[in-house]
């Protein structure tokens, strides 16, 4: 399992987890009320789950946005 914190405008928005079976989940922090990490992923209490994860990358190689289908 791999896990990382996701930030929006330098504020921790939530956690992205890749399970050992290749399923991705993203969950917003309970206290987060800022901009969504993606227009397709509005801030909500329920987790997002997918077996596919895509993203947009900055030129320095850091992920800039998450896209769940």
pLDDT digits (tens, 9 = 90+) for 27-59: 999 999 999 988 889 999 999 998 877 665 555
Q: Find where tokens 């896990």 sit.
A: 3
Calculate the CA dihedral of residues 53, 41, 66, 46 and round it to 10 degrees: -60
For residues 57 and 63, is the Cβ–Cβ distance under 8 A?
A: yes
pLDDT number for residue 38: 84
Average pLDDT over residues 14-33: 92
* pLDDT score recorded for residue 22: 84
Over 90: is that where the pLDDT of 60 sits? Answer: no
> What secondary structure letter does DSSP report for 33?
-
Nearest to 18 by CA among 50, 58, 66: 50
pLDDT band of 4, cuts 50, 70, 90: confident
Computed on alpha carbons and rounded to an integer, the radius of gyration of the chain in Å comes to 12
């Amino acid at each position: 399992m791999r896990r990382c914190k996701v930030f929006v405008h330098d504020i921790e928005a939530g956690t992205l987890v890749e399970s050992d079976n290749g399923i991705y989940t993203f969950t917003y922090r309970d206290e987060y009320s800022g901009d969504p990490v993606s227009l397709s992923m509005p801030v909500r209490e329920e987790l997002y789950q997918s077996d596919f994860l895509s993203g947009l990358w900055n030129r320095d190689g850091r992920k800039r946005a998450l896209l769940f289908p």
